[in-house]
Amino acid sequence: MHEITKDFRFDAAHTLIREIAAEGSRRIHGHSYRAQVALRGSVDPTSGMVADMGLVEQLVEGARETLDHRFLDEINDLGPATMENLASWIWRKVKPECPQLVRVTVFRDSAGESCSYWGE
Ligand SMILES: Nc1nc2c(c(=O)[nH]1)N=C([C@H](O)[C@H](O)COP(=O)(O)OP(=O)(O)OP(=O)(O)O)CN2
Ligand SMILES: [Zn+2]
């Protein structure tokens, strides 16, 4: 069993209702995000690959396009735009086309933060 990963980046704005730093979080502000999808599987003896990275890139492009340079509060099926909800949202977009998906991680590198989702 091998695991391969692919990162993609997006910049987006949001608001957040929270107890700590409440006022600043409620105002529209932005973050640079990095997301990583991980696929597990056996290596195909002919291709030498778990899955072609070109295919993985195509699979995540739709999600990236929907998130990049957007106001995340306007994405109906996201909920509060936390890293947690972004990770499960990306999962829901990619998993149907990619059964080998085992994890989605969303990073906010500038803050040293991340959240991983492995499905339910
Ligand atoms: N469990 C989570 N906690 C928090 C999340 C989250 O996604 N999951 N997100 C936030 C906010 O996005 C908030 O805006 C972060 O604010 P703060 O911690 O004050 O950090 P900065 O705005 O300074 O972050 P920079 O990325 O460095 O601008 C809070 N909690
Ligand atoms: Zn924020």
CA of 108 to the centre of ligand 1 (A): 8
CB 80 within 8 A of CB 29: no
Tokens standing for 107?
């990073």
Q: How are beta strands 29-41 and 101-108 bridged, if at all?
A: antiparallel
Across-strand partners of 78?
Answer: none
The model's pTM:
0.96
CATH at residue 66: 3.30.479.10
Give the total number of structural domains in the chain: 1
- pLDDT tens by residue, 62-100: 999 999 999 999 999 999 999 999 999 999 999 999 999
2 is in an annotated binding site: no
Identify the band that residue 108 occupies on the pLDDT scale cut at 50, 70 and 90: very high
What span, in angstroms and rounded, lies between the C-alpha atoms of 40 and 1?
7
- pLDDT tens by residue, 4-49: 999 999 999 999 999 999 999 999 999 999 999 999 999 999 999 9
Full residue range of the structural domain in which residue 47 is found: 2-117
* Nearest ligand 1 atom to alpha carbon 106: 7
